[in-house]
Each structure stands twice: as structure tokens, then as C-alpha cells.
């Protein structure tokens, strides 16, 4: 009875805990393990700056509408604030704060000289025309440009924002400051100063880690299940399939398909282009999403939404390794269950860090007025990602903790070393 009551208490606390409280709890746990200076922990407890403004734009029908907007600058001890801008109807300040904190952690784990920031606009972008989205994107820069800059705060794309929107924002910033300043925004199209390799960076960084685990497991051909068949999930599937790994299940927003002998990813990509979904792909069977999570695979890759692996399904997972290509796909309770089952979770702050690392490399190219080849960009990213994996593995063994806890320990150590 007491055990049941304790589990109920923990579940209730998780349900009511905000995204920021969840992220901060991770920081506190890691700080306790390494006896972080309490004064530094106190300084990390809140963002450096929170900027808020309503963005007023004229819609195509001539009416005006306001959209709440945020820019949170969390920590810049290691370098200028860095983080995406998301357009989402459910965006709120607590979420943006949490993501800005996690960007501080991610940049430190990736060992790039940048801090953490994040932006958000409360809007359903699907309800706006292209012209309205351009006006909104330019309005965001008009509202916050004084707080942005290549040596101050460098935004990038995030949920429902695109390279084209970043180009509008960079152009607007240049107009406001009186000169072109491409290094103020990353994730731009190539023709606007973007970097080679940016479109595949998130999946490619995760794939370098997958290759490392294949070597560690002593397997030339991994059995893989992927939740999510958008840009990151599809790219990961293509990379793995190209190298002879066996993709036995994938899912998208419409459903989940499975083939125990492996799916032909090239054919599936073309099928989805035509039909808009993976369901019905010849030679596959439709299965419930929960069955994808419980398949006996070597690597399970959540590459879709957050909070997908929870206390309700973690016990059924049979994968040896979970590679978090999505942000926050594993809940805190699930983390504990997976640790007890000895299932390794490569945390999102490392597994999907290829995106922010290539953003950093884009920033470097813009500052130097250079444009590097994709091979050069990906080689530099690979070095940083694999160095991060090695560092986490060492700390995980040293402190007998999960890779996620090791990531927060590593980030706090690097932030402490850079504290101003």
C-alpha cells in the first residue's frame, strides 16, 4: 500500500510539474552529485533576461491581429545566447524558459562556445498565409533586434519555423542595423548564407552515435525501429539503410508499419511522397504505435514528439539502446524504469546536437565570410559529437549514473569553468 501511495505521489508530482521544473530538477540532481558551488547553482536558477512583446501585424484581409512573443536569454557564460524560435499555438513562457535552459546544457555538452536561449510566438502558422508569416517574422525581429546580434544572441529555426523565415529575419535585422549581418541568424537557406549540411545535421549527428554503438555492440547490421518519418526520422532511416542496417518499423502521424525482414527505405520515401503517409506500404503490416516501442530491436529511435516513452510503456521496451533524436521523448519516470532494465538512453542533448553544432559552424562561416563544403562541415560536427559521447561515457562510469545524468554533470562542469 505504501509503495502504491509513493508511486501515485510521484506520478501526481510529475503531472503537475512544469517543463521548466522538470529541466531544473535534472540540473539540481547533477549539481548534487558533483557538489556544485551553491552560488553558481543559484545564478543558474533563472534566465539572465526574459523579453516579451505582442507582435501586431496586418492580415491579408486588412484586419490587425496580435501574437504574444518571447525571447528568453538563459545563460551566456560560454558565449552568445543560442536557440531557435518556434511558432506554435501552445507556446508559453514556461516552455520557452525550459528550452532555453536545455539549450545552455546542449551547447555545453557539444562543447561549442555558445550559451542558451530560445524564442517563441503563440500562433498557428498553418492559419497564416506566406505573406502573413513574413510580416510576423519581420515583426519578431523588430520587437527584439536590440537584444540580438552575432556576439549577443543568435536565433535559429525550431518547431514550425523554416530556413525561409530565418532569411526574412536576417534581412530585417540587416535593415534595422544598417548593414547585412548574416551571422545574426543560423539555419538560413544556402543562398542567404546558410551552411552546407544543415538540412541533415540533426539526423547525421545522431547517426554518428548509432555507428559508434554498432561498433560497441559488435554488430555490423543493427535492427532499428524509428518513431517519426519527418526530416530527422527519414534522414536517419536513409543513412542507416544505406549502410546495411535493418529498419524493421517506422511510424508517422497517420500510423505505424512493420516488416520483420526490413523495409525498403528508398521505396518507402517515394511511397510517402505520393500518398502522404507510410500506411499501406506494400510488403508491410500495420501495427499499433505501442507495438513499435516493444519490438525486440537493437536501437529504438524516437524522432517525433516529446513524452512518448512513459511509465505506461517503458517496461515493455526491449531495445538495447534508445537514441533520442526528438526533444524530450522519454519521461522522468520512464528514465528510471529504463535504467533498472539496463537499457541505455543516449539523451537528446547529445543525440540531436548535430543541429546546433552545424548552426555554430554556420555562424563561424558567416563571421569569416567563408562557405565550407558539406564534407568539411560534417567532419567537424562528427568530431564534436563523438567527443561528447566519449565524455559522457567516462562520466557515466565515474559516477555510476545514466548518460543523461552524465550529460548534465558535464554541462555543469563546463559552465562552472566558464562562470563570469
331-368 pLDDT, tens digit per residue, is: 989 999 999 999 999 999 999 999 999 999 999 999 99
Residue 16 confidence class, pLDDT cut points 50, 70, 90 = low
Fold of the CATH domain 47-180: Rossmann fold (3.40.50)
Rounded-to-integer distance, Cα 322 and Cα 317, Å: 10
The residue from 82, 97, 106, 118 that is catalytic is: 118
pTM over 0.85: yes
- State yes or no: is 118 an active-site residue: yes
Residue 213 confidence class, pLDDT cut points 50, 70, 90 = confident
Residue 3 confidence class, pLDDT cut points 50, 70, 90 = very low
Q: Give yes or no for a contact between 26 and 348, defined as CB atoms under 8 angstroms apart.
A: no
| Residue 82: strand, helix, or coil | strand
- Domain range list for the chain: 47-180, 200-351
Superfamily of chain region 200-351: NAD(P)-binding Rossmann-like Domain (3.40.50.720)
The C-alpha angle with vertex 110 and arms to 104 and 314, in degrees rounded to 5, equals 80
Check pLDDT > 90 for residue 15.
no
Percent of residues, the chain, with pLDDT higher than 90: 90
At residue 81, the pLDDT reads 98
Indicate if 200-351 has the same CATH topology as 47-180: yes
Q: In 34-129, where does DSSP find H-type helix?
A: 38-44, 93-109
Bridge partners for 287 per DSSP: 256
* H or E stretch covering 287: strand 285-287
The pLDDT tens digits of the residues spanning 149-171 come to 999 999 999 989 999 999 999 99
Q: Give yes or no for a contact between 395 and 408, defined as CB atoms under 8 angstroms apart.
A: no
C-alpha distances in Å from residue 206, one per residue of 6, 13, 186, 250, 332: 36, 32, 20, 17, 21
Amino acid at each position: 500500500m505504501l509503495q502504491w501511495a509513493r508511486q501515485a505521489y510521484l506520478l501526481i508530482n510529475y503531472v503537475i510539474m512544469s517543463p521548466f521544473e522538470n529541466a531544473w530538477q535534472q540540473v539540481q540532481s547533477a549539481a548534487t552529485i558533483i557538489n556544485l558551488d551553491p552560488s553558481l547553482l543559484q545564478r543558474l536558477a533563472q534566465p539572465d533576461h526574459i523579453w516579451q512583446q505582442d507582435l501586431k501585424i496586418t492580415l491579408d484581409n486588412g484586419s490587425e491581429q496580435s501574437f504574444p512573443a518571447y525571447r528568453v536569454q538563459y545563460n551566456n557564460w560560454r558565449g552568445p545566447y543560442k536557440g531557435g524560435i518556434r511558432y506554435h499555438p501552445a507556446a508559453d513562457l514556461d516552455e520557452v524558459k525550459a528550452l532555453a535552459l536545455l539549450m545552455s546544457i546542449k551547447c555545453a555538452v557539444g562543447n561549442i562556445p555558445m550559451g542558451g536561449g530560445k524564442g517563441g510566438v503563440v500562433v498557428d502558422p498553418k492559419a497564416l498565409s506566406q505573406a502573413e508569416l513574413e510580416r510576423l517574422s519581420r515583426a519578431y525581429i523588430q520587437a527584439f533586434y536590440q537584444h540580438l546580434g552575432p556576439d549577443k544572441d543568435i536565433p535559429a529555426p525550431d518547431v514550425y519555423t523554416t530556413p525561409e523565415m530565418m532569411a526574412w529575419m536576417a534581412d530585417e535585422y540587416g535593415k534595422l542595423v544598417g548593414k547585412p549581418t548574416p551571422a545574426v541568424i543560423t539555419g538560413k537557406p544556402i543562398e542567404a548564407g546558410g551552411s552546407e549540411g544543415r538540412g541533415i545535421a540533426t539526423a547525421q549527428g545522431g547517426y554518428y552515435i548509432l555507428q559508434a554503438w554498432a561498433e560497441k555492440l559488435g554488430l555490423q547490421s543493427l535492427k532499428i525501429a524509428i518513431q517519426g518519418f519527418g526530416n530527422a526520422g527519414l534522414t536517419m532511416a536513409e543513412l542507416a539503410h544505406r549502410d546495411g542496417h535493418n529498419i524493421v518499423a517506422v511510424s508517422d502521424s497517420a500510423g505505424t508499419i512493420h516488416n520483420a525482414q526490413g523495409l525498403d527505405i528508398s521505396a518507402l520515401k517515394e511511397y510517402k511522397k505520393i500518398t502522404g503517409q507510410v500506411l499501406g506500404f506494400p510488403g508491410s503490416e500495420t501495427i499499433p504505435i505501442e507495438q513499435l516501442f516493444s519490438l525486440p530491436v537493437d536501437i529504438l529511435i524516437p524522432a517525433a514528439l516529446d513524452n512518448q516513452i512513459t511509465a505506461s510503456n517503458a517496461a515493455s521496451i526491449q531495445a538495447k539502446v534508445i537514441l533520442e533524436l526528438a526533444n524530450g521523448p522519454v519521461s522522468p519516470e520512464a528514465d528510471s524504469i529504463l535504467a533498472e532494465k539496463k537499457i541505455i538512453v543516449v539523451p537528446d542533448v547529445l543525440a540531436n546536437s548535430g543541429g546546433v553544432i552545424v548552426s555554430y559552424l554556420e555562424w563561424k562561416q558567416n563571421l569569416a565570410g567563408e562557405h565550407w563544403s558539406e564534407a568539411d562541415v560534417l567532419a567537424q560536427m562528427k568530431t564534436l559529437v563523438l567527443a561528447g559521447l566519449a565524455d559522457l561515457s567516462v562520466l557515466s562510469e565515474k559516477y555510476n549514473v545514466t548518460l543523461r545524468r552524465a550529460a548534465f554533470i558535464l554541462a555543469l562542469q563546463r559552465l562552472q569553468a566558464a562562470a563570469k
